[in-house]
Structure 1
Amino acid sequence: MVAETLVPGVTVNEVAHRHGLKANHLSSWRTLARKGKLVVPEVVGAEFAAPLSTAQAVDTPVATATIDLLIGPVTVRLDAATPAARIAELAMALQART
């Protein structure tokens, strides 16, 4: 059945319907065949798309920098992207309270 779906112009839906299956079940088998986990007999006219080799994106750890304002017993930790004007405002406000 999987091999039948590889013939150009034939849809998974029509093959599934012809064999009394749900299309998603047949699609699962096609996925297994594509991954080499299911043997599919050769059918004349069948075309299987060559697997594409794509690089997997790797999550690179991002260093998180912080700015610590230490004024007396108070510590305020800010993100490094905090604008300088905002940091100055906070520093002055903290200093005024001590």
Structure 2
Amino acid sequence: MVADTLEPGATVNAVADRYGVQPNQLSAWRGLAKQGKLVLPALSTEKPVFAPLVVCDPPPAAPSCDRSPADKLIRIVIGEVTLELAADTPAVRLAEIVRALGAAGC
């Protein structure tokens, strides 16, 4: 339902009416999706979808012998949304999250 509200020309009221839910409930779900707390299904598309990627050097960290790779994070920043994920997060999950954020218009 949330994905349907993101289609061009769609309104929350029309989609809510189509599925028989209250518009304010659908709006709440949209808010959760924008916060990354609700992951939308991947959009099926015939064309490849690309997302801009910015790679930058991390700030120098204080030397430490007891840090493991799992302590490091993957940070995804899209507009005002920042997600921090464990470095060992599977690539498939990262792709799902990025697709969901793109679909949410972040």
Bin of the TM-score, shorter chain as denominator length: 0.3 to 0.5
Pick the structure with greater CA Rg: 1
Q: Tell me: higher relative CO, structure 1 or 2? Use CA pairs within 8 A at least 6 residues apart.
A: 2
TM-score, normalised to structure 1, is 0.46
TM-score, normalised to structure 2, is 0.42
